[in-house]
Amino acid sequence: MTTPKSKANVGMTLIILFVITLATGIILHLKKHDILIEPPPVIKMVHWIAGFLMVGVACLHSIQFKRMFSAMKTKFRWFRIDTWVVIVFVAITFITGLVKLLSPVKIPNLGLHHYWFGIIMSVAVIVHLFRGIPSWNRLRKIK
């Protein structure tokens, strides 16, 4: 059984990894607009590592809140819808990034699709985060 404090710690780790992944993803996208931030291979590696860790921690986060999520079916309908949007777009963004990373050939526009799915995911995550902050504060204060 996970403690409320560990749930809050997983949530904070998830936020940090999300910010790192989002920032490095935007930096990598700036290359398409002729804004090059050095060194690109290091930024790519940080983006990949933070992205993989973020997905792993997100899976742990979803396992921790599975019972709570299923109990919110009627009372918190919008939070549930937003959570499903987050889940779907995290999966799509992860899959397009994985295909981009592992594909032996360059797939046209895959990077752009990955970028836009990531932006949609980021907006959904920010909405999810702001709707969940009151719960997160309660979890942090429980002894």
5-41 confidence digits (pLDDT tens): 787 788 889 999 999 999 999 999 998 888 888 888 9
Average pLDDT, the chain: 87
Give the other-Cβ count within 10 Å of 20's Cβ.
Answer: 17
Which is more confidently placed, 138 or 59?
Answer: 59
Query: pLDDT tens for residues 71-129?
Result: 766 677 777 788 889 999 999 999 999 999 999 898 999 999 999 999 999 999 999 88
Q: Alpha helices of 1-143 — where are they, by DSSP H?
A: 4-30, 40-64, 66-71, 77-102, 110-141
pLDDT attached to residue 123: 95
For residue 32, the model assigns a pLDDT of: 80
Phi, psi of 81 (to 5 degrees): -65, -45
Structural domains in the chain?
4-139 (1.20.950)
